[in-house]
Structure 1
């Protein structure tokens, strides 16, 4: 049985490859843009990602391409399709958006069907999900590969 409610850990000293930042695929040198930050976001996760990339997260005013986007999204944040399209603005081709939403049953949680419906409208495909925090779920969204 897990030591935490969600089965994940953000403790320092996690075995290599098991930190939330590792599960999200972040590594040193990546530029990661954070959108939708608010007082309810998971600071331990944010610090773990900054440690993994060995840099600060950048915001929406960064003005250059980014390797990945962390998009914190709650039901009350508005239209998810618009949020996803906005998140694509600075994303490099082949990059991923990690959509972070409150877990089911928590305030602001989204219906998984809403995400499944919004992603393709925004031109994205859902690929994986990851356990990253006791309060937040992460879903990886990417632009579908086009035939060459």
Structure 2
């Protein structure tokens, strides 16, 4: 993290994810192809480092990197819910169309529904990654920002 980072910097791609200062974000599925600028942007915005799969407390949000070859998406989403705070969001990051590991939109929708999540929006968040915002039913009823 840069000591001169400005959380209000409009060039920070993490702003589109809606994370806030002080939130704990658990990162799952990290690999060398994960977007470093996005990861650093989230840390700048929240003022906290991303925590990994070994974190055993409640997280305010989850950043889940998932590629087609990573296994069952439904299982990964259910695992992501384990330590998610009530009303927390999961941002599912998958390779964009045409990139290695791309996950089809219908597969994301099916896995989210099976895991009990609602797909609320999708964004092109990084050069090689698309983001899908997934919410628990309680989070969608609590109102959108």
TM-score bucket of the superposed structures, by smaller chain = 0.7 to 0.9
The TM-score normalised by the length of structure 2 is 0.88
Residue number among 135, 142, 145 corresponding to 1:142 in the alignment: 135
1:3: which partner in 2?
none
Runs of 4+ in 1 over 4 A off after TM superposition: 12-18
Which structure ranks higher in relative contact order (CA pairs < 8 Å, sequence separation ≥ 6)? 1
Query: SS at the partner of 1:133?
Result: coil
- Equivalent residue runs for 1:21-100 within 5 Å: 21-100=14-93
Q: How many residues align?
A: 137
Contact 1:31 1:53 in 2 (8 A): yes
Contact 1:68 1:96 in 2 (8 A): yes
Deviation, structure 1 residue 127: 0.4
The TM-score normalised by the length of structure 1 is 0.86
Deviation, structure 1 residue 17: 4.7
Contact 2:6 2:44 in 1 (8 A): no
Deviation, structure 1 residue 137: 0.3
- Equivalent residue runs for 1:8-27 within 5 Å: 16-17=9-10, 19-27=12-20
TM-align CA RMSD: 2.1
1:101 maps to 2:78 = no
Query: SS at the partner of 1:46?
Result: helix
Deviation, structure 1 residue 15: 7.2
Query: Per residue, is there more helix in 1 or in 2?
Result: 2
